[in-house]
């Protein structure tokens, strides 16, 4: 299925994932685990690619340890 529908796969660093988690909390008050924030991380890294286009990012999952979440948003 991936070969048919996926054009590219983008890798994100831990720091980029943390930035996405922080942004989602600060701007939208969403608590999201790392895997749930990956779609936003991809968009942030390649935002020029999507400029002027309609984009949907699936953001899901709140299974993040409280101490880790506090450290990321601090």
Number of independent structural domains in the chain = 1
The proportion of the chain whose per-residue pLDDT surpasses 70, expressed as a percent, equals 100
- Tens-place pLDDT, residues 25-53: 999 999 999 999 998 888 888 889 889 99
Smallest CA-to-CA distance from 57 within 34, 29, 36 is with 36
What's the CA gap between 31 and 74, in Å, rounded?
14
In this prediction, residue 1 carries a pLDDT of: 78
Q: For residues 59 and 39, is the Cβ–Cβ distance under 8 A?
A: yes
**Domain interval for residue 29:** 2-73
Q: Is the pLDDT of residue 61 over 90?
A: yes
């Amino acid at each position: 299925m991936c070969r048919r529908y996926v054009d590219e796969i983008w890798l994100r660093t831990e720091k980029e994932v943390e930035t996405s988690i922080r942004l989602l909390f600060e701007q939208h008050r969403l608590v999201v685990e790392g895997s749930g924030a990956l779609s936003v991380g991809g968009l942030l890294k390649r935002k020029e690619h999507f400029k002027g286009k309609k984009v949907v990012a699936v953001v899901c999952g709140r299974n993040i340890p409280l101490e880790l979440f506090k450290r990321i948003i601090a």
